[in-house]
Amino acid sequence: MSEHLGKLYALGVGPGDPDLLTLRAHRILREVPVLAYPKKMRSGDSYALSIVEGLLPEPGPERLGLVFPMTRDPEKLQRQWEETAAQVWERLSAGRDVAFITEGHPYLYSTAIHLVRLLRQLHPGVEVEIVPGVSSPGGAAARLDIALADGDETVGLIPAVADRDAMRRVLASHDTTVFLKVAKVMDMMIDLLEEMGLTDRAAVVTKCGAPDEEIFRDVRSLRGRDLEYLTLMIVQKGGRR
C-alpha cells in the first residue's frame, strides 16, 4: 500500500452527447490514471465509456471495466460487489486516482452510489469527490422541450419498476412526473396512463443525446415494442404540449 491514497471520483458523463460533459468532468478524465466504467456482463459494452471514449488522451488511462450483476440473489450480489470494490481499492491503495464514470448524474439511481457507500464502509479514510453530470431527466426535458416545473409546480421522479399504486400516487400528486426504467413495463405504463386519462400528456425518449436517440410523442405506438433499457417517460398534466 502506498503512503498516499488515490482519490475516487464518481463522475457523471451526462445522458449521451459528449458535449454535455462538464468542464470539470472533462479535465478529470484527461488527467486521471484509472478510468473505471460499468460494463455489461456478456458483451462488455459500456454506454458511459462510449460517451467519453473520443475525449480521452492517448495512450489514455488504464480502463477498468466493472461488472454489476443484475441479480437479486443477495449472496451473488455481495460477492460481486466485494470483488468490484477490491479492484477499485487495489488502485486507490497504490496511490492512483480512479474516476468511476456513470451515465447521467452519479447520485441519481446509479451504481456509483453503492460503490461509494461500500468503499467508505470498507475503507473509512477513502477520499471521494462526486462530479455531477446532466441527468437523463434534465437532458430529456430539454430534448422534448418540456419545462419540468414552473412557478410552484412540483415534479415526481420514480422508477417504473415500483408498484402500480405508487406510480398512480406520484402521477396524481405532481404536475410533472418522470418515469425511469420504463422499457420493460411500457404496456403496463400505457394502461395506467389510459386509466388516468393522461396518455396524450406523455412523451418518451430513448438514448437521449446519443446518435441513435429516439423520441416518441405518441406513446400508444409503443405497445408491445421491444425498447432499450435507456428509455424514460415524462408525463406533464398541464402546460403547453
Q: Which residues bind ligand SAM (CB under 6 A)?
A: 15-16, 102-105, 108-110, 135-136, 140, 180-181, 205-209, 229-232
Rank residues 176 and 206 by Cβ distance to ligand SAM and give the closer one.
206
Residue 132 backbone class (left: φ over 0; alpha: ψ -120 to 50; beta: rest): beta
CA distance 146 to 137: 10
User: Which is nearest to 50 in space by CA: 22, 98, 81, 15?
Assistant: 15
How far from the centroid of its chain's Cα atoms is residue 225's Cα? Answer: 22
Length of the chain: 241
Residue with cell 399504486: 165
By beta carbon distance, the residue nearest ligand SAM is 104
Rank residues 84 and 110 by Cβ distance to ligand SAM and give the closer one.
110
Rank residues 126 and 233 by Cβ distance to ligand SAM and give the closer one.
233
The least distance separating ligand SAM from the CB of residue 179, rounded to whole angstroms, comes to 7
The least distance separating ligand SAM from the CB of residue 75, rounded to whole angstroms, comes to 23
The least distance separating ligand SAM from the CB of residue 151, rounded to whole angstroms, comes to 25
Cβ 10 vs Cβ 127: under 8 Å = no
The least distance separating ligand SAM from the CB of residue 186, rounded to whole angstroms, comes to 11
Rank residues 60 and 159 by Cβ distance to ligand SAM and give the closer one.
159
CA distance 209 to 48: 12
The least distance separating ligand SAM from the CB of residue 110, rounded to whole angstroms, comes to 4
Residue with cell 478510468: 35
Instruction: Classify 6 as helix, strand or coil.
Output: coil
Rank residues 5 and 185 by Cβ distance to ligand SAM and give the closer one.
185
